Amino acid sequence: MNRKQKKVLIRIIFAAILMVVFSLIPVEGYLRLGLFMIPYLVIGYDILKKAVKGILNKQVFDENFLMAVATVGAIILGEYTEGVAVMLFYQIGELFQSYAVGRSRRNISELMDIRPDYANIEKDGRIEKIDPDEVEAGSIIVVQPGEKIPIDGIVTEGNATLNTSALTGESLPREVKTGDEVISGCINMTGVLKICTTKEFGESTVSKILDLVENASSRKSRSENFISKFARYYTPAVCYGALALAVLPPVVRILLFDLPPEWGQWIYRALTFLVISCPCALVISIPLSFFAGIGGASREGILVKGSNYLETLSQARCVVFDKTGTLTQGVFEVSGVHHSDMENAKLLEYAALVESFSSHPISQSLKKAYGKELDQTRVTDVEEIGGNGVTAKVDGILVAAGNAKLMKRLGIEYQDCHHVGTIVHMAVDGVYAGHILISDQLKAHAKEAISALREAGVTKTVMLTGDAERVAGHVAQELGISEVYSELLPADKVEKVEQLLEKKTGKDKLVFVGDGINDAPVLSRADIGIAMGALGSDAAIEAADIVLMDDDPLKIARAIKISRKCIRIVYENIYFAIGIKILCLILGAVGIANMWLAIFADVGVMVLAVLNAIRALFVTNGRRAKVDDK
């Protein structure tokens, strides 16, 4: 509880004691009024002040105005105890709500406690702590055991074990050594590291993630927008309704039935009506539910950019996967050289040189298989042909490395491979020189993830890949994916997603899951784009709506589980709050409900709704994400 909340609690306790004591003193008239005004002003002066400010700013109809009118009216009618009690319990509800929001924020800040307080710079043999914002790219920083890595960079000296749990939600440590890239937000558990920063703090991973989480609340869901609009019309309507309840029945009694007007009774009913009608439960609990849902997701290493994406994800029925780096490890290794008349080492040398300017995983695997330092000055006239491969001159000899499409494009006859994997066909000086087989492994939980999605109510799983049909079909069959489309260029993937979007029915949503590096166009086109394995990937954080901070595909079903639990809580609060309000409003209008029931209808419903909302912070543990179909 913070300082402000403690002050409110002291006021509540003091006002409650005074109210009870003064209720026991046998005095009447103005003396009794004067006594009760003390606890009333102690507990309600800030509400009255806000109500007056709202009137002066021409923003009359809010909960402060409702409380002020209702309690002042009750005191004028001589119901001093009830007037003070309404304000007292309203403040208790506000304190509870403030504490709940603060608790949710603390949960998120603790789970995402990755903002570094300082960076260590070595000067004249001494370590100096400075603000991370002051560190320029290219600087050497020192990270000691127990400290956070403040800025992205490359290890220049030292070995250590890093704890990435604040980013990924997983406790598995990561070993790093000289030459490895490291990202901000990880905690150094062992060893001293010297790191050459590759970015400024404002562009580092930790800064981008914090900005993403902090701004998530600005992207509101349809439910939140509905409640905001509802409150704008609802509050003035109930105020005019209360005025009509106070005036019309007495006037009708006089004019039509020649009966006493009983102004006091009807004004009391109108004031009760006002207290009951306060929309606090909806206005507070709905945004809090989404806020808690985003916090619960962050705890799992799932970053949601806004409550609108959380709401859309809850309607996911079709999940489309990119294959490489999403369902497979994306770590390619050369597993064979076939149909080659030259030495394997020579063919690998040609392949590595031709691919030496590319950062594609297949290129990396060819360079790794060659295993020697490459002299790129030997390579000229490099031409990369999208979806086909690369051609270049090595020592003046034309070399081509790519798939079957490239061979057909060059008019070169090639040999098929009976092994399953990625095939890199090679042509040297216009003659086919054999092919290199590269294999990629499935991720550990890929098959389990597809099964978990079915249990989560996903009716269709689709895989898109640029790989050959045989490789794609083998992977899809092994995982149990319902549809597969192979040999696709990047533009083809967008077109295929467009076709799948056209086939959707009703409110069903399509989710695309990619590695976030090469899939930006498709991530943007889908109803929801999820980038996974995105630890440190700027492209993923920018392009996707939801970012999974590790490589575990099971997190997709878990994200759906969190979203549906959050939406279920939102609707529970809407139905519960509106249902109780309508019932109590009817009882208040006919004179059955008094101020005490009104207090329950306002404060009690708000407290129950807030308690229900913060359940979204917590999701049942377990790797399999079985989700109720909503």
Residue-wise pLDDT for 395-424, tens only, equals: 999 999 999 899 999 999 998 887 777 889
CA 65 to chain centre: 35
pLDDT at 169 over 60: no
Residue 622: is its pLDDT beyond 70? no
pLDDT value, residue 517: 58
User: What are the CA-CA distances from residue 626 to residues 313, 326, 373, 462, 622 (Å)?
Assistant: 15, 21, 50, 20, 9
What pLDDT was estimated at residue 630? Answer: 40
| 427: confidence class by pLDDT, cuts 50, 70, 90 | very high
Region of poorest pLDDT, from 99-108, 444-453, 458-467: 99-108
Residue 479 to residues 3, 243, 321, Cα–Cα distance (Å): 55, 65, 12
**Structural domains in the chain plus CATH codes:** 3-108+218-290+565-617 (no CATH), 119-214 (2.70.150.10), 302-329+442-549 (3.40.50.1000), 333-439 (3.40.1110.10)
Residue of 117, 152, 258, 322 marked active site: 322
Q: Which two tokens stand for residue 203?
A: 């562009």
pLDDT recorded at residue 606? 80
Number of continuous H segments (helices) and E segments (strands) in the chain? 21, 22
Give SS3 for 433. strand
DSSP string, 512-549: EEE-SSS-HHHHHHSSEEEE-S-TT-HHHHHH-SEEES
What distance lies between CA 15 and its chain's CA centroid?
41
> In one letter, which amino acid is 611?
L
What is the four-CA torsion angle of 418, 422, 427, 431, rounded to 10 degrees? 10
Concerning whether 322 is annotated as a catalytic residue, the answer is yes
User: What are the tens digits of pLDDT across the range 176-231?
Assistant: 999 998 888 888 988 899 999 998 888 877 777 666 665 655 666 677 677 667 76
Tell me what the pLDDT averaged over the chain comes to.
83
pLDDT range class, residue 629, cuts 50, 70, 90: very low
The confidence score (pLDDT) of residue 623 equals 42
- What is the percentage of the chain residues whose pLDDT exceeds 70? 89
Query: Kindly report the CA angle at 334 between 378 and 450, in degrees rounded to 5?
Result: 130
Question: What tens digit of pLDDT does each residue of 132-166 get?
Answer: 888 888 899 999 998 989 998 999 999 999 887 66
Task: Please state the length of the chain.
Answer: 630
Q: Tell me the pLDDT tens digit for each residue of 300-352.
A: 888 888 888 999 999 999 999 988 778 887 677 888 888 888 899 999 999 99
Taking residue 136's Cβ as centre, other Cβ atoms within 10 Å add up to 10
The 3-state DSSP composition of the chain as helix, strand, coil percent (nearest 5) reads 55, 20, 30
The pLDDT tens digits of the residues spanning 346-374 come to 999 999 999 988 877 788 889 888 988 88
Residue 615 is classified by DSSP as G
